[in-house]
Amino acid sequence: MSGLVNDGMDKGSMMESEDRIDKTVDIYITAEAVRDMKHKKDTEDFETQTAKTQTPQHTGSDSVRNRSSRAAAVCVVLLCVLLLTAVIVLCVTFTQERQQFISKNENLTNERDQLLFKTENLTNERDQLLFKTENLTNERDQLIFKTENLTNERDQLISKNENLTNERDQLKKYLQSYAEWICYQSRCYYISKENKSSTESKIDCRERGADLVIINNTEEQDFVKKMIGKAIVWIGLTDRDVEGTWKWVDNSTLTSGFSFWGSGEPNGDTTENCAVTVAVPTVPGWGNIVGWLDVKCSLHFQWICEKRISHLTLP
């Protein structure tokens, strides 16, 4: 657009310059005509005046002065014409240059306005970009913060998962350890699958955090009978310390009014100092005896361990 404006303005300036040149030529021609008329009039006036004043006594020197005066007048007139022409040319040149300067100034003003407009647009775009950049920076910081939180939560979940895995493994071991334990009322019981002596059976129960079973009432005796079936098992009853004085493994004395001895038991004297329990008569040579029997502590039978539920602990 600025190129079209400049072209239009240059064409207008050229037309104005041509008009000025034409006017200048007209003025110059007019000035020449005026000068010629003035010169002709001056010549006629001079000749007339000379004719009136001339006398027969005029000499050749007067004629020379008259010619010199006319030549000087002509020179002055020519000088004036030249000065006038120079002034006119200078005025025309100054006017043209002034118009060109005004045109250039207008073009520069338009370009300045366009640059200011572009600068304002660029400033607005810059501000918008800065605003967007600030928003993106805030979003980035928020995402970083959320990522850190999620990372922390992930680490916590991993830690919890590891803890739960450890607890699960411990529970598995615990369940495996107590899988064969049977709980009744406030106590849990374990019956072995192998046979050992009374002393070895007691050691095994101690390693399991328990002891050989102590039967405190009829309900517990009935529970043990159902538990052992046809097996013969050691119970925690012995008279090793004092013959005839039967004590439990917790060192409590068996009361005479509460016992489940079989018929004719105990009858082993000093040779049979440990007790077993039989639920059904299955041993040849023992007759039909059911209940507690005193036997040699070195014999090998199954055994029952007992512990309180409150004493159950992880292995």
3-state secondary structure labels for all residues of 193-248: CCCECHHHHHHHHHHCCCEECCCCCHHHHHHHHHHHCCCEEEEEEECCCCCCCCEE
Place of tokens 């106590």: 187
The answer to whether residue 315 is domain-embedded is no
Are 207 and 290 found together in one domain? yes
In the predicted model, what is the mean pLDDT of the chain? 81
pLDDT band at 39 (very low <50, low <70, confident <90, very high): low
Of 179, 213, 248, the residue that ends a domain is 179
Q: How many domains does the chain have?
A: 2
Q: Name the least confident of 25-39, 89-103, 138-152.
A: 25-39
pLDDT (0 to 100) of residue 58: 47
Mean pLDDT value across residues 245-263: 87
Are 251 and 271 found together in one domain? yes
Mean pLDDT value across residues 100-128: 92
Mean pLDDT value across residues 16-44: 56
pLDDT (0 to 100) of residue 115: 93
Are 47 and 18 found together in one domain? yes
What is the domain range of residue 160? 1-53+60-179
CB-based burial label for 176 (10 Å; 0-12, 13-18, 19+):
exposed
Are 132 and 211 found together in one domain? no
The answer to whether residue 192 is domain-embedded is yes
Are 9 and 123 found together in one domain? yes
Of 128, 148, 179, the residue that ends a domain is 179
pLDDT higher than threshold 50 for residue 220: yes
pLDDT (0 to 100) of residue 255: 81
10 Å Cβ neighbour count for 294? Answer: 22
Of 147, 179, 211, the residue that ends a domain is 179
Are 137 and 231 found together in one domain? no
What are 303's two structure tokens? Answer: 């055994």
Are 205 and 175 found together in one domain? no
CB 298 within 8 A of CB 197: yes
